[in-house]
Amino acid sequence: MEQANISSLVSLIAGAAGKIETYYTANPAKPYVPPLSDTEPHPLDNEIYPLDVRQAVQTLEGACAQLCATLVRPNYTILNRHLNIYQTAYLSVVLRAQVADVLLDEPAGLHISEISKRCKIEEKKLARILRTLCSQHIFREVSKDTFANNRLSMLLLSSDPLSSMGWHISDEPTNKSAVHLADTLLDPEWGFSDATERSPFNYALGTPDPMFRYFEGNDNPKAAEQGARFGKAMIGWNAACDSSAIVTGYPWDKLGQGTTVNDIGGGVGHISMQLCKRYKNLNLKLQDLPERIEQAEKDIWPKDCPEAIADGRIQFKPIDIFAEKPIAHCDIYLLKNVIHLMSDEVAIKVLSNVRSVMSPTSRVLVQDYIIQSPTQSGSDDEFTLKQADPPLLPNYGVGRIRQFYTDAIMMVLLNGRERTFDDFIQIGKSVGLDLVKIWDMGESSVVEFAPAVLEK
Ligand SMILES: C[S@@+](CC[C@H](N)C(=O)[O-])C[C@H]1O[C@@H](n2cnc3c(N)ncnc32)[C@H](O)[C@@H]1O
């Protein structure tokens, strides 16, 4: 009779927790793990985790979840999963009512009557919502009916870009579209279509425009506001998922003076700007839809990186990647969190447009998740990501769940998808690109392609 391996999971948890604690205690400025009640940032909060610490975090989250799923009665667990919907609904309320902002600079907390007055939500209802979130370690009930911020609720402040991502997920467009996922998939016409404009987003919002077109906001101020909010949201996403790791995880400094990097679908240029500031050998080009490029050129870069404009190290050029070719003969074409927006058919079209303007020495860098299977898939090698040790699921289970949630976001909003290693090889092959290397960025990965060598 096969038995669950409880003690191995417990020791994985102990080992991973110890490793993370050591990482904190080695920090010279604040050599301790801050308590949840602390509202001051810790210097490590926005540091990119070293790979071994990242793996410890994934092991901790994966093993805790696997241990609970194993030991706790199944009907407890499944019922709680169904009830998760209320966490999203409650987060939406506190974001919209800006509760964290109201509690800012109130270390002793505020009585619910005062919070209610300032947030314009009925007192007893708001208390129930806050108490539920406190029980999930978001906010703190200091004494009965008096609430304060804590380490987690500080990330709900309207000034924090992650709160923009919270709005994007818990409100329109994501939440409303996700509610219609089952309807869309069970619709005999919509469910079997890979067309971008046949996604649950279009089903739910009743618009024929793909989400990013909709975000351009033509005659629709609400959509334009959501689009601008999304630009900020991506900054929060990148910080939370360490996806800026590409800034230090790829050998940019080894590239020659004047290397041109075209950040295609680069949004307002959050990554380009970091590359520009850090590596003086790089010249950047930023291409995105007109609205984003205008925001970048007129608003963001003059404020945050005027020196790049003065030195002519940044070029802004709008593009519709579905219909146009990018600027030709760049050394590097970076598509970060862009290819996953697309079905295979569209991704092939976009990448073949890129391929058609590449020089023989150009490279394409695609940064997305590489989907890992929950079943063992041979041994780790230079082209695969490290698998977890048993009894953990080989893909770390809940420890790497964001790869699957991001895949869900793509399906719901755009009929896009995250891809496996084999999917990437296949897509590359079909447009004349050969795989050079997989760069493990801790959570997502960078797939480097070069023009395929033609066989004589
Ligand atoms: C998920 S965001 C990624 C932004 C940025 N690369 C990053 O990782 O922070 C996708 C970007 O693709 C852009 N995009 C979507 N459709 C596009 C199109 N047809 N042409 C050009 N850019 C597009 C969006 O405006 C958005 O900035």
156, 163 Cβ separation under 8 angstroms: yes
Task: Name the residue among 23, 174, 185 with its Cα closest to residue 88.
Answer: 174
Residue 340 falls in the annotated catalytic set: yes
Testing ligand 1's pocket by substitution, the residue of 317, 336, 338 carrying the most ligand atoms inside 8 A of its CB is 338
pLDDT at 79 (0 to 100):
98
pLDDT at 218 (0 to 100):
85
Cβ–ligand 1 contact at 319 (below 6 Å):
yes
Cβ–ligand 1 contact at 265 (below 6 Å):
yes
In angstroms, what is the span from residue 287 Cα to ligand 1's centroid? 9
ipTM of the complex: 0.99
Task: Name the residue among 291, 252, 246, 254 with its Cα closest to residue 270.
Answer: 246
Q: How far apart are CA 328 and CA 434, in angstroms?
A: 19
CA 47, chain centre distance (Å): 16
pTM: 0.91
Query: Tens place of pLDDT for every residue, the chain, 456 residues?
Result: 788 899 999 999 999 999 999 999 999 999 999 999 999 999 999 898 998 999 999 999 999 999 999 999 999 999 999 999 999 999 999 999 999 999 999 999 999 999 999 999 999 999 999 999 999 999 999 999 999 999 999 999 999 999 999 999 998 899 999 999 999 999 999 999 999 999 999 999 999 999 999 998 888 999 999 998 998 898 899 889 988 899 999 999 999 999 999 999 999 999 999 999 999 999 999 999 998 999 999 999 999 999 999 999 999 999 999 999 999 999 999 999 999 999 999 999 999 999 999 999 999 999 999 999 998 776 666 566 788 989 999 999 999 999 999 999 999 999 999 999 999 999 999 999 999 999 988 889 999 999 997 654
pLDDT at 4 (0 to 100):
86
Q: How far is CA 195 from CA 41, 198, 366, in A?
A: 43, 5, 22
pLDDT at 456 (0 to 100):
45
Identify whether 74 is preceded by a cis peptide bond (ω within 30 of 0): no
Testing ligand 1's pocket by substitution, the residue of 214, 250, 289 carrying the most ligand atoms inside 8 A of its CB is 289
Task: Name the residue among 291, 271, 154, 304 with its Cα closest to residue 229.
Answer: 291
The residue type at 83: L
In angstroms, what is the span from residue 338 Cα to ligand 1's centroid? 6
Cβ–ligand 1 contact at 234 (below 6 Å):
yes
Q: How far apart are CA 12 and CA 313, in angstroms?
A: 48
The residue from 168, 180, 270, 340 that is catalytic is 340
Cβ–ligand 1 contact at 232 (below 6 Å):
no
pLDDT at 422 (0 to 100):
92
pLDDT at 381 (0 to 100):
60
pLDDT at 158 (0 to 100):
97
- Torsion sign over Cα 257, 282, 249, 334: negative
Contacts with 371 (C-beta within 8 Å, 6 or more apart), sequence order: 403, 404, 407, 418, 419, 420, 423
